[in-house]
Amino acid sequence: MKNSIDASVEFSYKGEDYSYTASIDLDQLLLQHGSLPSFHVILAKLHNVDTYSYLYEVMEATDVEFSNPAGRAADYLIDGEFDPSALADDWHAARVGALLQPIAARELGISDLNEHPELKRALMAAYSLGSNA
């Protein structure tokens, strides 16, 4: 299932009201960057706001509000607070788990690696060690 969330920010600058909203594909951002960049920057770029402008500085001082999470993002939006770091960690772990499962099935005859948490942790640690080398 696709991981996405709607982000919005509303603020005033020089007597003018601004309201920027976007539906954000979190999977695409994680594939592209490895982590989730600032949602202020994302909204600014989508709405042609220069990130070196006073308009952006005022926008950045306002909290981004989140709604309509889909996929795993729903687990990380609690009482209006979104935890992008926890989502990114979970997303990466799920991705690595999906890569390791066929190896566990082929080499060890394990059809569900989640039923062997110690082995899964060991394989994930080995994967992490190899990808950081």
Q: What is the pLDDT of residues 47-67, one digit of tens each?
A: 999 999 999 999 999 999 999
> 9 and 43 in contact (C-beta within 8 Å)?
yes
Q: How far apart are CA 43 and CA 13, in angstroms?
A: 16
Does 87 map to a domain? no
Three-state DSSP class for residue 117 = helix
* CA-based nearest residue to 90, from 71, 67, 115: 71
**Residue 127 pLDDT class (50, 70, 90 cuts):** confident
Q: Give the containing element (helix H, strand E) for 22.
A: strand 16-25
Residues 99 and 38 in one domain: no
Does 71 map to a domain? yes
Average pLDDT of the chain, as a whole number: 93
Domain total of the chain:
2
Residues 73 and 101 in one domain: no
Kindly report, residue by residue over 67-111, the tens digit of the pLDDT: 999 999 999 999 989 999 999 999 988 888 988 999 999 999 999
Q: Which domain does 108 fall in, by range?
A: 92-132
